Structure 1
C-alpha cells in the first residue's frame, strides 16, 4: 500500500512526530495509517522505557483559568533539557494538557492523566511525545483552585507559575499583583491562622533557644521570642507580607484598600528552579 505527502503531514499532525519519523513509520506500515500511528506510539514506549532512569528536571510550569475565572490550574510538564523545554511543540503540548484540565475541571493529577483526547489518554500521549522528543517526559504536577475568582500568573520563561483564589471578583490588576507577590515572595500560608500549630510551636521554640544561647535574660526570652514569631509571620504569610510594590503596606492592607471584603482563600506556587 502506497502513501502520499498528505498522509505524512496528517500523521505528523495527529502524532506530533517529525516528518522523517512519520515517513519511515508509513513506509514500515506499507502505507497503513493506523499501523503507522501504532509504530510511532510503540517507539515512544520503547524510548520511555530506555530513559526511565533519567532525570527530567527541566520543563514548563503553566497556570491558566477558565473563561469565567472561577476555576484554574497549574500544570507542570517535565523534560530532560532546557532545549526541549523551550521548543514550541513541547510548550504547545503542555498547553493542550492544560486545556483538557480546564475543560474537564479535573481535581487530581491521576484524573488528568486519565483524560482521553481523540481516544488516547493524556498519560499515553506523554509517552508518545517521549518518542518524538527523544527525552524522558513526565507530567509531574497538577493543582487546581476554584472560587468566586481565580487568577493565574506565569513568570517569563515558563519556569514559575502561581495561582490565587479570592472570595469575590476583583479588578484584574489587583488579582495579578497578588499572584505576582506570591511568585516573588514565596509565602507558605495565607495568614498565621492557616499555619499548623506544630509549625508555630517549632518556630517559637527555635527562637527561644536562639536567644537563650545569645545570653538574653530568661525573664525576657518569651517576649523577645514572640516578637521574633510576629516577624516570621510577616515573612512567610501572604496577607502579612509587605506588598512588593509598596512596602509601607501589607497585602492585607492592599486588598482592603481596593475592597474591604476582599481576601485570599487559597494559593499555589510551583517553581522548576526550586
Structure 2
C-alpha cells in the first residue's frame, strides 16, 4: 500500500474541491494514483447525483455576465438544494466562473459539454454533487445581444437580469442597469404588447369579462371594457410601459428618452431562483 502524504491529499482537495477525508480515502483506494483518485471521486459524484436526481434545486446563485464590448451577455443560475450551500463563497465563485465560460456558448447543451479545467461542465456539476452532497445543476441559461447590453444582479444572487439597448450612447451603462433593476423588481411578462403571448392575452380578457359579469355589467359592454382592462394589464406587465421604479411619473420608455431621444430597450432576459 502506497504511503499517502498530506501534500498529496491537499493537492487532490484543491483539484476537485472534495473534503480532506474523501480525498485521503480516494488516494488510499487508488493506491496513490492521483488520476485514479480523481476518477474515484467523480464516480462518487455520479452515485450521489443519481440518488438526488428527483430533489428540488430551487436555491443557488443567479449570475449575469457581459462581454468587454457590452454587445453580448449571458445570465445563468447554478442551482442547489439549500440556501446554506448557495451562500458558500466557493459555490458563488464556481457560479461566476461558469457564467464567464457560458459567454462563449449559444445553447445550454453546448455549454454543459464545454471544457472546464479538464472536464466538461456537466462532469464538474456531477463532481460537485458528490462533494457537497446536494443536487447541483444549471437552471436558467439565457443569452442576449444588442448594440449595448447591461446587467444587474440582485443582492444575494437570487435574480439576475440582462437588458439590451438600441444604442451605445453616453449614459447607456447606467440606463441599462436601471432598466435591469426594473425588470428584476417588477418581473414584466414581456418587453412590450407585441411580446405578450396570445394565450396570456386571451386569459386576461376572459378573466376581465368574468369579473364584469359578476359586477352585473351588460354582455354587450363586456368587450370594450375588457379591452380597457387589457391596456392596464399591458401597462403593468410590459417592461417599456411600466411606471419607472425610480420615478413613477414616467414610464420606462420615457425614462430612456430622457437619457437620449433615440434610446430604447430592445430586449431583456431575467433568471430568478425559487
2:73 touches 2:149 (CA, 8 Å); kept in 1?
yes
2:78 aligned with 1:80, yes or no? no
**RMSD value, Cα:** 1.7
Residues 178 and 52 of structure 1, relative CA distance in 2, 3 Å threshold: same
Cα distance in 1, alignment partners of residues 206 and 199 from structure 2 = 10
Q: Report the CA distance between 1:202 and its aligned residue.
A: 3.6
2:78 touches 2:136 (CA, 8 Å); kept in 1?
yes
Q: Report the CA distance between 1:217 and its aligned residue.
A: 4.0
Q: 1:244 corresponds to which residue?
A: 245
Q: 1:254 corresponds to which residue?
A: 255
Residue by residue over 1:198-220, the C-alpha shift from the partner in whole angstroms, topping out at 9 and shown as x without a partner, is: 43344234323322331224454
Q: Report the CA distance between 1:118 and its aligned residue.
A: 3.0
Residues 154-163 or 218-227, more deviating:
218-227
Cα distance in 2, alignment partners of residues 48 and 218 from structure 1 = 57
2:134 aligned with 1:128, yes or no? no
Q: 2:157 corresponds to which residue?
A: 158
Where structure 1 has 5 or more consecutive residues not aligned to the other structure, the ranges are none
Cα distance in 1, alignment partners of residues 184 and 257 from structure 2 = 21
Residues 168-177 or 195-204, more deviating:
195-204
Residues 194-203 or 68-77, more deviating:
194-203
Residues 216 and 147 of structure 1, relative CA distance in 2, 3 Å threshold: same
- Taking the TM superposition and a 5 Å limit, the aligned residue runs for 1:215-254 are 215-254=216-255
Q: 2:62 corresponds to which residue?
A: 61
Q: 2:168 corresponds to which residue?
A: 169
2:189 aligned with 1:192, yes or no? no
Cα distance in 2, alignment partners of residues 219 and 53 from structure 1 = 51
Q: 1:182 corresponds to which residue?
A: 183
Q: Report the CA distance between 1:134 and its aligned residue.
A: 1.1
2:76 touches 2:271 (CA, 8 Å); kept in 1?
no
Q: 1:12 corresponds to which residue?
A: 13
2:147 aligned with 1:148, yes or no? yes
SS in 2 for 1:11: helix
SS in 1 for 2:68: coil
Query: TM-score, normalising length from structure 1?
Result: 0.92
Cα distance in 1, alignment partners of residues 210 and 138 from structure 2 = 43
Q: How many pairs does the alignment contain?
A: 271
